[in-house]
Amino acid sequence: MSNNPSPSYGRILSRSFLAAATALLLPTALRAGVTIHFAGDSDVGEGGRWTKVVAEEWAKKTGNTVDYISRPNDASATLQLFQQYWAAKSGDVDVYMIDVIWQGIAAAHAADLKKYVKDDEIKDYFPRIIENNTVKGKLVSLPLYTDAGVLYYRTDLLEKYGYKEPPKTWEELAEMAKKIQDGERQAGKPDFQGFVFEGKASESVTCNAIEWVYSYGGGTIIDPDKKVTINNPKAIKALEAAKSWVGTISPQGVVSYGEEEARNIWQAGNAAFMRNWPYAYALGQDPKSVISGKFAATVLPKGGADGKNAACLGGWQLMVSAYSKNADAAADLARFLCSAEIQKRRAVDLSELPTRPEVYKDPDVLAKNPWFANAVEILNNAIARPSTVTGVDYNQVSTVFFQSVNKVLTGGESSQQAVTDVERVAKRIVR
């Protein structure tokens, strides 16, 4: 070595070989993490972009990679897409964001989260949602955020037209909406609407209509004992009331509106009342919004003086695919996104309802969403769609319901005919 200061040819060769080998091995070392394919919220809306960013934070923290897959804006279209993955037993998606009503449909294709989440942690969630997400002893999904239908009303306009508080019944709402609509239209706003809601023939109108029917005491289509209850005079009365709004206090086109179509009109300042989900709160209170500081949210009206307040229970969950090759990492992502810390951020940024009771007591959350103080009560009274009793066939029941209700709203069918049709299909499914 000492007599030969310059490296020998053989040494150069072995060194370069080593370098090449290191170069080859290095990526393998970096590849310790795995790629989780996450079908989250549609990234057209704020919720999707937000979820994507938070999922990236998890990836950075754990050294894994997240491949974010956007979903269609429309819930029914999303389910159709997911069902194709599930029917094919595809491992292409590891984590799915699924609706509260899809538990029965998804159960066969979900990993049991009880294997990945400790019992103590499960206890931190609302027991009702965990109960809903548990199918035949299997914890199908973790609650990401919950939803309940709420009534938004313009505080400035109510005051202008001499109303002290939001409507208690649908009848009151119709009367107030008419007065405000007439007044605003005369004041030079020809497109002003009294009340906007979701009348589109999709899951959207199922949620709206079950609230009307329940608020009038007409039940929830199928009761938990598998009895089909929809064909009753109170349900018909509820549908008649809704039908009377179309073209009077609501635009004719409301029958083709989903959540975003309704919110577009509301947020442009062109509606006095809106039925929508909590997400519309943060968007409306954004400083750039023209209605910022001019509205509030409350529980939906009762159907008549002896009716009930109703709010359709919604919400989204995270499910780990039974066909995932990286179920451990996938479950870790789901746990992270549902953690108290992230739920608090979600509540502050997006005004979406947390699924952990503790988050409702957080001062930052309440400062941003004062109405969350009443939210626990709204949630306790929330009504579930009949997805548990219908299981895999829920979509069929919901489809006949939303199509029939939509026909009633467009004047294509009588309310009596609609409830008869729904009853016929529902009876075939739950028998």
Partner 1 sequence: MIKEIDLYARQKRLAWFLIMPSVIVVLLIIAYPTIQVLVYSLLKYKLDGVTPPSFVGFDNFAFVLSDPDWWSAVSNTLIFTVVSVVLESILGLMIAMVANSKFKGRTLLRVAILVPWAIPTVVSAQVWKWMVNDIYGVVNIVLTDLHILPEKIAWLATPATALPVIIAVDVWKATPFMALLLLAGLQLIPKDLYEAGSIDGATKVRQFWAITLPLVTPTLLVALIFRTLDALRVFDIFYVMVGGQGNMATMAVYNQQQLISFLDAGVGSATSVIILVIIMLFVILYTRFSRTSFE
Give the residues lining the site for partner 1 (CB under 8 A): 76, 79-80, 83-84, 86-87, 89, 105, 108-109, 191, 200-202, 251-256, 264-265, 270, 392-393, 395-396, 399-400, 402-404, 406-407, 410-413
Which is nearer to partner 1, 359 or 400 (by Cβ)?
400
Which is nearer to partner 1, 35 or 256 (by Cβ)?
256
Smallest distance from the beta carbon of 376 to partner 1, in angstroms? 34
Which is nearer to partner 1, 265 or 419 (by Cβ)?
265
Which is nearer to partner 1, 270 or 369 (by Cβ)?
270
Smallest distance from the beta carbon of 253 to partner 1, in angstroms? 3
Which is nearer to partner 1, 87 or 187 (by Cβ)?
87
Smallest distance from the beta carbon of 70 to partner 1, in angstroms? 16
Smallest distance from the beta carbon of 121 to partner 1, in angstroms? 29
CA dist., res. 101 & res. 116, Å (int): 22
Which is nearer to partner 1, 326 or 403 (by Cβ)?
403
Smallest distance from the beta carbon of 81 to partner 1, in angstroms? 9
Beta carbons within 8 Å of 85's beta carbon, 6+ residues apart: 92, 93, 321
CB 218 within 8 Å of CB 234: yes
Beta carbons within 8 Å of 153's beta carbon, 6+ residues apart: 166, 167, 272, 273, 295, 296, 297, 298
Which is nearer to partner 1, 141 or 146 (by Cβ)?
141
Helical packing angle, 394-410 and 203-215, nearest 10°: 80
> What pairs with residue 276 in β-bridges?
150
Which is nearer to partner 1, 323 or 336 (by Cβ)?
323
Smallest distance from the beta carbon of 206 to partner 1, in angstroms? 11
Six-digit token string for 182? 């007439």
Q: Which residue is associated with the tokens 């009534």?
A: 151
Q: Which residue is associated with the tokens 């199922």?
A: 206
Smallest distance from the beta carbon of 96 to partner 1, in angstroms? 15
Six-digit token string for 306? 């002896």
- Full strand arrangement of the beta sheet holding 35-39: 65-69, 35-39, 95-99, 313-320, 141-148
Which is nearer to partner 1, 375 or 409 (by Cβ)?
409
CB 369 within 8 Å of CB 361: no
Smallest distance from the beta carbon of 107 to partner 1, in angstroms? 9
Query: From the CB of residue 223, how many other CB atoms can be counted at a distance below 10 Å?
Result: 13
Q: How many residues does the chain have?
A: 431
What radius of gyration do the chain's Cα atoms show?
Answer: 26
Smallest distance from the beta carbon of 396 to partner 1, in angstroms? 5
Which is nearer to partner 1, 217 or 258 (by Cβ)?
258
Six-digit token string for 40? 């989250």
Smallest distance from the beta carbon of 80 to partner 1, in angstroms? 5
